[in-house]
Amino acid sequence: MPEQKKFKSGFVNIIGNPNVGKSTLMNKLMDEKLVIATHKAQTTRHRIKGILTGEDYQIVFSDTPGILEPAYELQSKMMDYVKEALIDADLVLYMVEPGERKPRNEEVFERLKKLKVPVMVLINKIDRSNQQQLEESVDYWHQMLPSAEILPISALENANVDLLKNRIVELLPEGPMYFPEDQLTDKSERFIVNETVREKILLNYKKEIPYSVEVVTEVFKEGFELIQIETDIYVERDTQKGILIGHKGESLTKVGKEAREDLEKFFGKKVFLKLFVKVRKDWRKKDRDLKGFGY
Ligand SMILES: Nc1nc2c(ncn2[C@@H]2O[C@H](COP(=O)(O)OP(=O)(O)OP(=O)(O)O)[C@@H](O)[C@H]2O)c(=O)[nH]1
Ligand SMILES: [Mg+2]
């Protein structure tokens, strides 16, 4: 009788400093633009699952916010997601950049060192480093986390990403299918809209604006050929509202156009997207507002 292959599954949580490439990697592993990734730090604010189902495995990735020392309430919530991801992991992917030394948050690093599950250190962005820098980095992380496997990769250039995927499946325990095989993420369609709009804001505005913005989709009506969407953009003060809208509304129109194009690709349908700008004073610092926004 041929030996039957056992089904493997588990939670593979990606953590690391802001901007190291966690979201880029999750998209590459999923072969789908599921989460937003930009050159700005603190792009990701939530824990977002990406579910990859193969013939004999199901990997439930989690993309998480970058590790930081929280300065306000929103950032505390973001760090809670990181800590949560250290608790339920079957495998942790700890992502660093080649020149990086010394973990940013001691508490998180101490927890990482004590984990019973396997940890892989992914040295990302090797397309931008030289051999010597890479070797130094490998030595350093080997000393810092002696039991971790170390793998240099480039998420952006797709270097060693397939190798990583195979290794993940090897390391996963035997287990059940946690999610239906056609499910891509734990987040809603509205969440995808919110994030797409926020990505365009991160890309189109400077300084504080992207960090003062929260996005909430109020209407998502899917028809046979068209999706009708109405989305609110919250800022912290009136002056920010003016900047966001821009001269003759041009800036906001650009955000809307770029977001709509991405959403049409993602959903495979025509999208009608209407954006509204509202003010919610100091929402980043207020627990009540944050709860209302889903943190
Ligand atoms: N050169 C290079 N750039 C990369 C690579 N991977 C990611 N980047 C870039 O690094 C920047 C940050 O990428 P993200 O994926 O948003 O990083 P992140 O770790 O999710 O960041 P936060 O969500 O802010 O914590 C983007 O400009 C990416 O294009 C890589 O392998 N090589
Ligand atoms: Mg991210």
Owning domain of residue 202: 189-292
Q: Which residues, other chains included, contact 112 with Cβ-Cβ below 8 Å and sequence gap of 6+?
A: 15, 86, 92, 94, 103, 119, 145
| Residue pLDDT, tens place only, 158-196 | 999 999 999 999 999 999 999 999 999 999 999 999 999
Does a structural domain hold residue 163? yes
Q: Note the helical H segments in the chain.
A: 22-30, 73-87, 106-114, 131-144, 161-171, 189-204, 238-245, 250-267, 287-292
- In this prediction, residue 1 carries a pLDDT of 62
Beta strands 226-235 and 270-279 are parallel
Residue 197: C-alpha distances to residues 151, 213, 263 (Å): 33, 10, 9
**Are residue 143 and residue 18 in the same domain, yes or no?**
yes
> Over 90: is that where the pLDDT of 295 sits?
yes
Residue with tokens 């070797």: 135
| Residue pLDDT, tens place only, 215-238 | 999 999 999 999 999 999 999 999
Q: How far away, in angstroms, is 213 Cα from ligand 1 center?
A: 21
Q: Which of 14, 15, 19, 74 for mutating ligand 1's site (highest number of atoms within 8 Å of CB)?
A: 19
- In this prediction, residue 2 carries a pLDDT of 64
Angle at 28 between CA 186 and CA 105, to 5 degrees: 75
Q: Which atom of ligand 1 is nearest to the CA of 154?
A: 31
Return the structure tokens found at 263: 């959403």
Q: How far away, in angstroms, is 51 Cα from ligand 1 center?
A: 20
Residue nearest to atom 11 of ligand 1 (CA): 39
Question: What CA–CA distance (Å, rounded) separates 272 from 281?
Answer: 29
**Are residue 207 and residue 128 in the same domain, yes or no?**
no
Q: Residues with Cβ within 6 A of ligand 1?
A: 18-24, 37-39, 41-44, 65-66, 124-125, 127-128, 154-157
- The CATH number that applies at residue 281 is 3.30.300.20
